[in-house]
Amino acid sequence: MLKLSRRHALGLSLGAILSATLLTGPSRAQTTPPKPTFSLLLVNDIYKMSAEKGRGGFGKLATIVKEERARGVPMLFAHGGDTFSPSLMSGFDQGEHIVELTNMVKPDVFVPGNHEFDFGKDIYLKRMGEAKFPFFGANIRQADGTPVPGMKDNAIFDLGPVKVGVVGLALAETARLSSPGDLKFLPELETLKTQAADLRKQGADMIVAVTHTDRSVDNAIVQSGVVDVLLTGHDHDLIVTYNDKTAMVESGEDAHYVTSLDITATVSGEGKDRKVSWTPNFRIHNTADYAPDADVEAVVKKYEALLSKELDVELGTSTNALDSRSSTVRSQEAAIGNLIADAIKASTGGDVAIVNGGGIRANKEYPAGVKLTRRDILSELPFGNSTSLVAITGADIKAALENGVSQMENRAGRFPQVSGLKFEVDSKAPAGSRVSNILVNGQPIDMAGTYKVATNNFMLTGGDGYASFGKGKVLIGVTDGKLMANEVMAYVRKLGTVDAKVESRIVIR
C-alpha cells in the first residue's frame, strides 16, 4: 500500500488511462508493454538527502534515473522544485549540498519552487550559478520585467520523432510564501498560454508544462487544455490523471516515489498537415525497492557525517510527549508549538508570541522522557528564520489570529501556535469571524491597547497572510533578530527539563 501525501489522497483517477503500474524492483513487470516513443520522469519536493525507513533520498533517485536513461527510450528528466530548503544541512549551507547532489542526477529541466528562495535572492542566484542543470521559469522576472539571466522560459526537445515543447512555471505566490527579494512572479496560466502558443509556432508537436504550482492552478491548467502533459510539484501528492486530452503527474515528496510517464506516439503528415496522436502509460517507482547508487550515496554519507558531529548533542529532557506531525501543528494547539512560542517570547521580551504551525517541519512524535538534541530542534525549525518583535494593537492581534485559523480545515501552514495568549475558535463560523474570548496573559484583550508580539521574520513581512503585523512599530526587524532555532535550543538547554504540554491556549469549538 502506498504511503500517501499529507493530503491523504492518491489521485489515481485515471479515466481513459491505459494503465498505471506500481513498480516493485527488478522483477516488477509481469507483462512488457510496447516500447514507448519517449518517456518523461518526474521528481519534486525532495528535501531530505537520505532514505527514511528505506524509502526516498538522492541515492535511490540516482539509481532510478540511471535505469530510465539506460532503457534505450528517449527520456526527459524533470524536477518540479522545492529542494534547496528546508533540511537540516540547508540550515548550515543554504542548499549547497543539494546542488552538489542534484548535479549528480542532472535533471534536463529544473523549475524552482518557493523554497528555493528561502535564503533570499542572492543565495538563489548563487546556487543557480553552481548548478550543472538548466533552470526554467517563464513567469519569473527581474524587477525591471526582464528575464533572470541564466534562466530559460522554454525549450524544444527532440524526443524520438516528436518535438516536445517544454515550459517551466514557478508558483505565483512565491513572493508571499518565501523571500525572493525584488523578483516578480507572473500569473501562471496567463503566462503558460503565451508560452504554449509560442512553442506551437516554433514547431512543437506536444506541450509539456513543468511547474511548481498548487492544486487549484494545476486543475485550471488541465481544464484549459493548453498543454498535453502537466508535470507538477508543491502539494506533495502522489497523483496521476488523464482526461483523454491532458495527463497530469505529481510524484509525492522526498523521492519516496518517482513517476515515469511513457508516451506512445504516432506521427503522420508533414508541414501544416503534421499530426501527432499519443497515449500515456504511467509507471510509479517505489524507491523502497531500489538500492542507492554507490557514488551518490557516498556523497550523502559524507554530509550525514558532518551533520552528526554538529547535531547529535543533547540539550534537555521533555517530561511529556511531543507531537510535531503536520496534521497536529496545522490544526490545533500542540505542546511543541507551545515550547517554540514560549522560547521566542522569552528571547524577545514580547508580551505574547505567535508562530506559524507550517514552520514546524519534522512531522514526528517524541515519547515522554525523550532527550532533545540540536538535530531535533533544527529538524523542527529548518528554515533559518530569525526572531522578530512588533508592537501592534489588540485588534491587530485578533486579525492575526483570525488569519491563522482561516484555513484550518485545509491544515494550512498559517495555523498559529501561541504563547501568552488564550482564545476560542468556532470552527463552523465563517473565516474572519471565528476567534473570541481572547486573553493576554490571563486578562481580556484590549482591542485599542498596544502589545509586543514576538514572531519570525517571515511572518513579520506578511508571510502566510499575517498582514496585520505590518501595521505596527517594528522593534526587532528582519535583519535584527537571532536565529529562531538557536533561540529555541538555548531555551531548552536553560530549562534542562522541558514541561511543555497542551493547556487550553487554543480551544476549538
First and final CA of the chain: distance in angstroms?
Answer: 35
Listed range (20-24, 30-34, 427-431) with the worst mean pLDDT: 20-24
Locate cell 491597547: which residue?
A: 449
Calculate mean pLDDT across residues 430-448. 98
- Reported pTM: 0.74
HEC sequence for 139-186: CEECCCCCECCCEECEEEEEECCEEEEEEEECCCCHHHHCCCCCCEEC
Query: Quick one: pLDDT band at residue 247, thresholds 50, 70, 90?
Result: very high
**β-pairing, 387-393 with 450-456?**
antiparallel
Question: Is a pLDDT exceeding 50 seen at residue 271?
Answer: yes
Question: Is a pLDDT exceeding 90 seen at residue 303?
Answer: yes
Question: Is a pLDDT exceeding 70 seen at residue 25?
Answer: no
**β-pairing, 38-43 with 257-268?**
antiparallel
Domain locations in the chain as residue ranges: 20-26+34-304, 312-508
CB-CB contact of 122 with 314 (8 Å) = no
Calculate mean pLDDT across residues 172-188. 92
Task: Report residue 345 as a C-alpha cell.
Answer: 517570547
Nearest to 440 by CA among 351, 322, 344, 313: 351
Question: Is a pLDDT exceeding 90 seen at residue 402?
Answer: yes
**How many Å apart are CA 297 and CA 288, to the nearest integer?**
15
Calculate mean pLDDT across residues 409-435. 96
pLDDT for position 8: 33
CB-CB contact of 467 with 365 (8 Å) = no
| Check whether domain 312-508 has CATH 3.30.300.130, yes or no | no
Query: Quick one: pLDDT band at residue 217, thresholds 50, 70, 90?
Result: very high
pLDDT for position 5: 39
Go through the chain and tell me how many residues it has: 509
Q: What is the CA radius of gyration of the chain?
A: 24
**How many Å apart are CA 216 and CA 269, to the nearest integer?**
37
**How many Å apart are CA 12 and CA 3, to the nearest integer?**
14
pLDDT for position 391: 98
- Choose which CATH entry (3.40.30.10, 3.30.450.40, 3.60.21.10, 3.30.70.20) describes domain 20-26+34-304: 3.60.21.10
pLDDT for position 483: 81
pLDDT for position 23: 53
Residue type, 126: K
Query: Which is it for the CA torsion 45, 58, 22, 133, positive or negative?
Result: positive
Q: Dmax over Cα atoms in the chain, in whole Å? A: 78
Nearest to 421 by CA among 349, 482, 494, 341: 341
| Residue 232 parent element (H or E) | strand 229-233
Burial pattern 186-215, b for ≥16 Cβ within 10 A else e, equals bebbebbebbbeebeeeebbbbbbbbbbbb
Question: Is a pLDDT exceeding 70 seen at residue 336?
Answer: yes
pLDDT for position 33: 66
Nearest to 278 by CA among 126, 160, 190: 160
CB-CB contact of 44 with 251 (8 Å) = yes
pLDDT for position 200: 97
Query: Quick one: pLDDT band at residue 27, thresholds 50, 70, 90?
Result: very low
Listed range (6-20, 55-69, 99-113) with the worst mean pLDDT: 6-20
Task: Report residue 457 as a C-alpha cell.
Answer: 521574520
Question: Is a pLDDT exceeding 90 seen at residue 96?
Answer: yes
Query: Quick one: pLDDT band at residue 232, thresholds 50, 70, 90?
Result: very high
Average predicted confidence (pLDDT) for the chain: 92
Q: Is 233 helix (H, G, I), strand (E, B) or coil?
A: strand
Calculate mean pLDDT across residues 253-275. 95
Residue type, 102: T
CA torsion 319→324→329→331, rounded to 10°?
A: -100
Q: How far is CA 215 from the centre of its chain?
A: 13
Question: Is a pLDDT exceeding 80 seen at residue 15?
Answer: no
The residues with which 309 forms a beta bridge, in sequence order, are: none
